[in-house]
Amino acid sequence: MKISPLPLSNRVAGLHRSAVELWHLGLPIRPKDPLERLVLDQHWFNYELWHQEDEARRTDVPDSVIAQVKRNIDGLNQGRNDAIEKIDAWLLEYLKPVIRKSAELHSETAGSIIDRLSILALRIHHMKEQARRKRSPAGHAFSCRQKLKVLLEQEKDLLGCLNALLKRVMAGKSRFKLYRRFKMYNDPLLNPALYLKQR
């Protein structure tokens, strides 16, 4: 059985980058495509995580502020992983007609690759900012431009990997599964530091 090609696979990098630009300007982005909405929901968690991780490195605020930031990071990480699973669940349902149980199992899911592309989009955005930064140390802009070239190449490679995986799945040659992450540190029934203290 044939299904329509996934429009997302060739647009994910642009979607990620556009969202980062708009979010930094305080503007929303609301795609109509349901898969693109899931991708941007996941991307938002990485966007928030990026800025919380910056705050966690501050030394000019009380420890209580850093403790709250660390708790924020825990919650955002949980949301990020849940959102990856939602992407994979949507894709697996969409691809169900062409997935063959006998196909080669791919260890990395499409959602995980999309997550890595999301993080790359954030690195690219912020490395561009650093390359344009005024009053930076000598050689800083040049160093950032060199790093940006590497990041852009990594993005191209990773996007190629996503496209290749989806094409192989649609051709019945590969498959991936929904891997539950079961983050234990946020669960008071699974984290001994939490449930032992309650006793």
Q: Does residue 53 carry a pLDDT above 90? A: yes
Assess if residue 81 is contained within a domain. yes
Assess if residue 17 is contained within a domain. yes
The rounded mean pLDDT for the chain is 92
Assess if residue 60 is contained within a domain. yes
pLDDT band at residue 176 using 50, 70 and 90 as cut-offs = very high
Residue 156: give the domain boundaries. 7-192
Assess if residue 58 is contained within a domain. yes
Specify the number of domains making up the chain. Answer: 1
pLDDT band at residue 21 using 50, 70 and 90 as cut-offs = very high
Assess if residue 31 is contained within a domain. yes
Assess if residue 90 is contained within a domain. yes
- CA-angle at 181, arms to 178 and 182, nearest 5°: 125
CB 168 within 8 A of CB 100: no
85-144 tens-digit pLDDT: 999 999 999 999 999 999 999 999 999 999 999 999 999 999 999 999 998 899 999 999
Compute how many other C-beta atoms are within 10 angstroms of the C-beta atom of residue 34: 10
Assess if residue 197 is contained within a domain. no
55-78 tens-digit pLDDT: 999 999 999 999 999 999 999 999
25-38 tens-digit pLDDT: 999 999 888 999 99
